[in-house]
Amino acid sequence: MYDTKSLKSLNWLKNNQVSEMRFPIILPEYKCYANSIPDVIGMNHHHTAVIECKISRADYLSDSKKGHRHYLFQLGNYRYYLVPVGLISSSEVNGGWGLLYCHPYKITIEKESDYFPIEQTRPQEYQVMYSIIRRLTSFDGHDKTLEILRFGTSLPAPSRGETGEK
């Protein structure tokens, strides 16, 4: 079950007022072969965003010491920490990460994230996309999934003379 901050971050990414920061594809704690498992990753047709939700100062300090935080190739063109209001200050957030404050009814940007170029994020994004497609096509109904992927959200209409029945 996702905590309140994770759910708020999902909504913030999905419904952001800034179109560049609106992400229709949201994956909470998605596990795959990428070098990290972010609390939330959002994807749109141009960018990705990662949000790490921290509930205590110790949680934040522990996270900032993780080895993969210092890799050149990481997920997210935009990267944010989401914390309760005042838990950490924007001056404490390093490595180009941004800072979001979680208020009772909204999220505010306290520090903007740097933009991490596609050359640094694409290898990890491919890991996520490959994992999604592999999972979609590895179950019993994979033929229907492949048709939906090929033809969009609906399946093609039968050709003339075909009833669609077997």
Q: Name the token pair of 19.
A: 């179109």
pTM for the whole structure? 0.75
**3-class SS of residue 122:** helix
What's the pLDDT score for residue 154? 55
Task: Phi first, then psi: give them for residue 18, nearest 5 degrees.
Answer: -90, 115
Q: pLDDT for 118-161, tens place per residue?
A: 787 777 787 777 777 777 777 666 666 667 666 665 555 555 55
80 pairs with which residues across the strands? 51, 98
What is the average pLDDT across 86-108? 91
- Per the listing, tokens 């077997």 go with 166
CA-to-CA distance for 58 and 64, rounded, in angstroms? 10
Q: pLDDT over 90 for what percent of the chain?
A: 20
- Under DSSP, the state recorded for 100 is E
**3-class SS of residue 123:** helix
